[in-house]
């Protein structure tokens, strides 16, 4: 066998060696994180979903396949949704809340964490209230509408002694982790360039995503953040500068403060550069390309709900597809209950770094200047 890693990889894929058995021998702790495909057995994370919209519906359905996370609470401003979701997911009436009374979760032992899946501008206040109630916070991205709010969320959770996790589902996706592994193990050589294309043509002009008061912006907050975050974990460094340019072809649909299309560039300490596009006005944009002196990795689609399709200079990459939100919630249960450290962070500091970059991109757009970053 070529290495202990190769031996362990084959061992865990063969006839059912359980993570628990491995942990008892001390092997699990020594295994490289990308090869840990399952979380160890342990307590179930009891989750209240806040904001019962379309993405919460996707999360709820995915959680039915979770081994370590289950829906035990609901928070919504729509009574009919509380009733129908409560019946569908077997959530009793005393674990259903609205936005006025959900602070009472502090007295509910059947809720460990709240997954905030509401419009972006509401994340900050809701996070502070959940933390004050002594519950862990899982917040959908973007964590807030600016770095100031993000920093206050991190501080509130630290003060309350609860964890703050951001819904970066791609951080647990198998093809993504394989690309990161290839870069870390030197298979690509020194990284030179990253391209991230993130966009789609948005529909209903009256939806909350095009309302600055609710969304905090436009495409950058919703879809461009994938390219920002992806550049960081694919390159493996924190950017030190950004430049950016905005194009707006429909000022009626994309009002003041709601960005339609932004191209942006980032520079990294090693000299690597990233060139990215965020848009609400073009379809078929879901691509990551990472170039190194020895090889490349390309993912297209790169951040959609799956399956993710990837290839490298060595050929196609075909890791098995598992519903992203199922894996995410099981892994987050292990992070909260077992203090597991994921291969790519999903904590509040990770989310805050993306907010600092978005703030800098918007400053670069308005000023036309290169903006320096200090994320370390």
Residue 53 burial (C-beta neighbours within 10 Å; 0-12, 13-18, 19+):
middle
- Which two three-digit tokens encode residue 228? 């920002």
Q: Do 240 and 267 contact (CB within 8 A), yes or no? A: yes
pLDDT at 5 over 60: no
Local confidence band at 6 (pLDDT 50, 70, 90 cut-offs):
very low
Local confidence band at 40 (pLDDT 50, 70, 90 cut-offs):
confident
Tell me the domains of the chain and their CATH numbers: 45-169 (3.40.50.720), 171-319+348-372 (3.30.360.10)
CA gap 215, 358 in Å, rounded? 13
The whole-chain average pLDDT of the chain stands at 92
> What Rg value do the Cα atoms of the chain yield, rounded?
21
pLDDT at 115 over 60: yes
Mean pLDDT to the nearest integer, 113-129: 98
Mean pLDDT to the nearest integer, 97-108: 98
pLDDT in tens, 315-332: 999 999 999 999 999 999
Mean pLDDT to the nearest integer, 83-109: 98
Q: Which pLDDT score, from 0 to 100, does residue 376 have?
A: 80
Q: Which pLDDT score, from 0 to 100, does residue 265 have?
A: 98
What proportions of the chain, in percent to the nearest 5, are helix, strand and coil?
40, 20, 40
Local confidence band at 39 (pLDDT 50, 70, 90 cut-offs):
confident
CA gap 342, 302 in Å, rounded? 19
Q: Which pLDDT score, from 0 to 100, does residue 24 have?
A: 40
pLDDT in tens, 268-279: 999 999 999 999
Q: Which of left, alpha, beta for 374 (phi over 0: left; psi -120 to 50: alpha)?
A: beta
pLDDT at 375 over 70: yes
pLDDT in tens, 62-77: 999 999 999 999 999 9
pLDDT at 135 over 90: yes
Local confidence band at 61 (pLDDT 50, 70, 90 cut-offs):
very high
Q: Which residues are catalytic?
A: 141, 226
Using a pLDDT cut of 70, give the percent of the chain over it.
Answer: 90
Local confidence band at 127 (pLDDT 50, 70, 90 cut-offs):
very high
Residue 215 has phi, psi (to 5 degrees) of -90, -25
**Which residues share a beta bridge with 311?**
298, 316
pLDDT in tens, 328-355: 999 999 999 999 999 999 999 999 999 9
Q: Which pLDDT score, from 0 to 100, does residue 259 have?
A: 98
Local confidence band at 3 (pLDDT 50, 70, 90 cut-offs):
very low
pLDDT at 9 over 80: no
């Amino acid at each position: 066998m070529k290495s202990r890693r190769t031996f362990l990889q084959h061992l865990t894929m063969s006839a059912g060696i359980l993570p628990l058995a491995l942990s008892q021998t001390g092997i699990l702790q020594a295994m490289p994180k990308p090869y840990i495909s399952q979380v160890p057995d342990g307590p179930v994370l009891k989750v209240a979903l806040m904001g019962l919209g379309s993405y919460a519906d996707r999360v709820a359905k995915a959680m039915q396949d979770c081994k370590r996370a289950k829906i035990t609470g609901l928070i919504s401003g729509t009574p009919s949704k509380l009733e129908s979701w409560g019946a569908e997911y077997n959530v009793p009436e005393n674990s259903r809340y609205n936005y006025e009374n959900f602070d009472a979760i502090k007295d509910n032992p059947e809720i460990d964490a709240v997954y905030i899946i509401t419009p972006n501008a509401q994340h900050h206040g809701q996070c502070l209230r959940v933390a004050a109630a002594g519950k862990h916070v899982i917040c959908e991205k973007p964590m807030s509408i600016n770095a100031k709010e993000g920093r206050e969320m991190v501080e509130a959770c630290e003060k309350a002694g609860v964890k703050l996790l951001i819904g970066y589902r791609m951080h647990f996706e198998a093809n993504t982790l394989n690309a990161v592994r290839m870069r870390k193990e030197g298979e690509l050589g020194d990284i030179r360039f990253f391209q991230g294309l993130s966009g789609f043509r948005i529909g209903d002009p009256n939806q909350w995503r095009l309302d600055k008061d609710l969304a905090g912006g436009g495409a950058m907050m919703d879809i461009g953040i994938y390219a920002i975050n992806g550049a960081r974990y694919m390159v493996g460094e924190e950017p030190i500068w950004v430049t950016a340019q905005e194009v707006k072809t429909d000022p009626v649909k994309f009002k003041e403060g709601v960005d339609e299309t932004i191209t942006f560039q980032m520079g990294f300490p090693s000299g690597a550069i990233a060139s990215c596009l965020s848009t609400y006005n073009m379809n078929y944009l879901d691509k990551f390309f990472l170039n190194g002196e020895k090889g490349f990795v390309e993912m297209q689609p790169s951040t959609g709900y799956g399956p993710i399709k990837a290839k490298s200079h060595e050929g196609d990459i075909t890791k098995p597809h598992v519903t992203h939100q199922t894996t995410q919630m099981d892994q987050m249960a292990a992070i909260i209950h077992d203090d597991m450290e994921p291969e790519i962070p999903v904590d509040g500091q990770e989310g805050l770094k993306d907010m600092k970059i978005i703030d800098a991109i918007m400053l670069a757009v308005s000023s036309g200047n290169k903006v320096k970053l200090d994320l370390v």
